[in-house]
């Protein structure tokens, strides 16, 4: 399940060289070419899925444990004091490469906060209604 036009398929399967920090039968973990911080890594499944909604469950359920393992190694090896796990789905969410990937971004004391948003006002009726439409869709 590879997509010949997908650059992350080529990287994940070793056709294009990368700075690999971990590899097993299902995943390759590489350093991001445009890092948010030193050690910023991308977990790439070797199979092509556009995003998390398309991923096989067996693949998806391994992503968080792998991210935790990598984050722990970054704290130990790089002196990071924390890390962000970020995963973008869709252009509006900032996804630019349409091959599922998870960012693991080490954070350092005094460094910039990577994942941030401006909290909006939300009243309780609105929160209730929003919760209901999502809950009803989930079934």
Q: Which CB sits closer to ligand 5GP, 16 or 127?
A: 16
Q: With CB under 5 A as the contact rule, which of the stretches 24-32, 42-50, 69-77, 78-86 interacts with Zn ion?
A: 42-50
The answer to whether residue 101 is catalytic is: yes
Give CA–CA dist 119/117, Å, rounded: 6
Of 2, 50, 44, whose CA–CA distance to 23 is shortest? 44
Residue number, nearest CB to ligand 5GP: 34
Longest CA–CA span in the chain (Å) reads 52
Q: Which stretch binds Zn ion (CB under 5 A): 5-13, 28-36, 69-77, 114-122?
A: 5-13
Cβ-based nearer residue to ligand 5GP, 30 or 80: 30
- Cβ contacts of residue 116 below 8 Å, gap of 6+? none
- DSSP letters spanning 6-62: -HHHHHHTTSS---EEEE-SSEEEEE-SS-SSTT-EEEEESS--SSTTTS-HHHHHH
Q: Which is nearer to Zn ion, 7 or 131 (CB)?
A: 7
DSSP assignment letter at 91: G
Binding map of ligand 5GP across residues 38-77, x = CB under 6 A, - = no contact: ----x-----------------------------------
Q: Does 8 bind Zn ion (CB under 5 A)?
A: yes
- Residues annotated as catalytic (active site), given as ranges: 101
């Amino acid at each position: 399940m590879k997509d010949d036009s997908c650059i992350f398929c080529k990287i994940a399967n070793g056709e294009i060289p990368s700075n690999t920090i971990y590899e097993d039968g299902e995943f390759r973990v590489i350093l991001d070419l445009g890092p948010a911080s030193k050690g910023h890594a991308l977990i790439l499944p070797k199979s092509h899925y556009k995003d998390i909604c398309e991923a096989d469950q067996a693949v998806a359920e391994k992503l968080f444990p792998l991210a935790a393992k990598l984050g722990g190694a970054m704290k130990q090896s790089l002196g990071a004091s924390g890390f962000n796990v970020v995963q973008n789905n869709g252009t509006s969410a900032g996804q630019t490469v349409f091959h599922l990937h998870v960012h693991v971004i080490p954070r350092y004391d005094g460094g910039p906060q990577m994942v941030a948003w401006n909290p909006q006002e939300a009243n309780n009726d609105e929160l209730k209604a929003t919760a209901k439409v999502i809950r009803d869709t989930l079934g």
